[in-house]
């Protein structure tokens, strides 16, 4: 399980250090793709394959299913961690997530998310104000 929040900087070549506690869980190669809320999702291959199978089952006749699948897979890249513990994030993904220098890497159960620091700070501020309401809405899911 991935959990925690880590502040990092991305270098001029688009490389970011992966927190050491996440590296082993990610494995030799993993997938980085566009996520929701203008962040990047990072999946170990085992989790990516599970998600891929679920998305394959979506009906091609549904416009939203086609759009989501296109969006999700077209931005996906397979990555590996270099000897310095970094990954290279392609420019298209950095643009999508508005990651320029300062960023935040968070663990979210079965995936990692990479956020621009500015977007993460805004998201946390907005979410803190409505956290009780969000929790109440999720009570139907036995949380």
Higher pLDDT, 120 or 130: 120
Per-residue pLDDT averaged across 106-123, rounded?
A: 97
Looking only at the bridges linking them, the beta strands covering 111-116 and 40-44 are: antiparallel
Residue 142 predicted with pLDDT over 80: no
* Tokens linked to 129: 């104000």
Question: Which distant-in-sequence residues (6+ apart) come within 8 Å of 120 by Cβ?
Answer: 39, 103, 104, 106
How does residue 139 score in pLDDT terms, banded at 50, 70 and 90? confident
The pLDDT confidence band at residue 128, using thresholds 50, 70 and 90, is confident
Domain containing 9 equals: 2-141
Does position 76 have pLDDT exceeding 70, yes or no? yes
Sheet holding 102-109, edge to edge: 2-9, 102-109, 111-116, 40-44, 29-34, 77-80
Question: How many independent structural domains does the chain possess?
Answer: 1
Q: Does position 8 have pLDDT exceeding 70, yes or no?
A: yes
pLDDT digits (tens, 9 = 90+) for 28-49: 999 999 999 999 999 999 999 9
pLDDT of the residue at 42 = 98
What is the pLDDT confidence band of residue 93, given thresholds at 50, 70 and 90?
very high
- Which alpha helices (DSSP H) does the chain contain, by range? 20-26, 45-56, 63-74, 91-97, 117-137
CATH number of the domain within which 11 lies: 3.40.1550.20
Compute the radius of gyration of the chain from its Cα atoms: 16
Instruction: Specify the length of the chain in residues.
Output: 143
């Amino acid at each position: 399980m991935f959990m925690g929040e880590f502040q990092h900087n991305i270098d001029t070549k688009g490389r970011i250090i992966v927190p050491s506690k996440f590296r082993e869980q990610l494995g030799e190669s993993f997938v980085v793709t566009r996520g929701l809320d203008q962040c990047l999702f990072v999946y170990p291959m085992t989790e990516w394959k599970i998600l891929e199978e679920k998305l394959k089952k979506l009906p091609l006749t549904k416009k939203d299913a086609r759009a989501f699948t296109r969006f999700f897979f077209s931005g996906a890249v397979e990555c590996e961690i270099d000897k310095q513990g970094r990954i290279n994030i392609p420019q298209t993904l950095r643009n999508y997530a508005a990651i320029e220098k300062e960023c935040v890497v968070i663990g979210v159960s079965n995936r990692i998310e990479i956020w621009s620091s500015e977007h993460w700070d805004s998201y946390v501020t907005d979410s803190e104000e409505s956290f009780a309401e969000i929790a109440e809405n999720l009570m139907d899911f036995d949380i």
